[in-house]
Amino acid sequence: MNRPTLQDVLEARKTISPYVPRTPLHSYPALDQLLGATVRLKHENHQALGSFKVRGGVNLLAHMSEEERARGVVTASSGNHGQSIAYACRQFGAKAVICLPEGANPLKVRSMRNQGAEIVFHGKNFDESREHCARLADERGYRFVHAVNEPLLIAGVGTETLEIIEDFPEVDCIYVPLGGGSGAAGACVVAKAINPNIKVVAVQSAQAQGGYLSWRNRRLTESPMGTAAEGLATSTGYQMTQEILWDLLDDFILVDDDEMKEAIGILIDSAHTLAEAAGAASLAGAMKDQVNIKGKNVVVIVSGGNITIPQLRSVLDQYDRT
């Protein structure tokens, strides 16, 4: 598989523009004061599906052959990637089968069903669902879509960083959540091609360090997975995104679930915006990295907003900045 390039991202923008709107990049004085920096939020939580992943799904399905679409598409997801594929399959007339871990976010499950996808629950986590998904592809002849190792997915989600740099060319540093790594890899591809001085920092859960350890060790590494942030709930690194990160990523920060909860509360309180745990991870990472961003121009990617009512209650019960 060929790694995506900036040219691939530019072409992806043309492809997805009829289906995926440009998202806003907003400033909030309270966040500037909190971080001691000039801060912008990239509002991927404003996407109709509540996640940046829709960019990749549409780009991938748009480039599939009629034969591939006719076979049907199967993929595994912790939630937002599955929404992306379900939506794209509906737009391009393909059957979608989504394998999810038991106990998947019900908002995301409902969204996938509303898009017409067939839902298959299997396993306790994303990686167990992914293994079952590959078996289904072999047994039934579906076109298997890996949630991470697909260049067209990475090129599609890279369009969010293209928009960031167009709207805020003075940006010094971009913080991006990392689960499988497509968002971080896409950010690296775009930022380093346009301005190598832009620092890209990935943020992952301290309770699911597979991506971080793979980056640190420069080889794919597994790690126990115990985070409640389903968008970050992967137990290993993945080849294509890790190869990009090994070459281009500047830094990596780990945050725990309580730090993500605090960041969700801050986003509500200071920016009037709703994020799921993975979507707030980048702010949690920037908060831990304040010493390195003081006085700089910083973008925090709010990658998703699909938080459930019980999850939100848990955040509000814990959060108190009166």
Contact between 168 and 195 under an 8 Å Cβ cutoff? The reply is no
The beta-strand segments (E) located in the chain are 25-27, 38-43, 73-76, 96-100, 118-121, 143-145, 173-177, 199-205, 251-255, 297-302
Question: Which structure tokens are listed for 315?
Answer: 């955040």
Sign of CA dihedral 63, 127, 281, 254: negative
Sequence letter at residue 201: V
294 catalytic residue (yes or no): no
Instruction: Judge whether 254 and 216 are in contact, CB under 8 Å.
Output: no
Is 53 a residue of the active site? yes
Q: In what order do the strands lie in the sheet with 96-100?
A: 118-121, 96-100, 73-76, 143-145
Catalytic residue, chosen from 129, 205, 214, 303, is 303
d(CA 252, CA 187): 13
Q: Which residue has the tokens 């998904």?
A: 133
53, 108, 192, 261: the catalytic one is 53
Distance CA 249, CA 231 (A): 20
For the annotated catalytic residues, the residue numbers are 53, 303
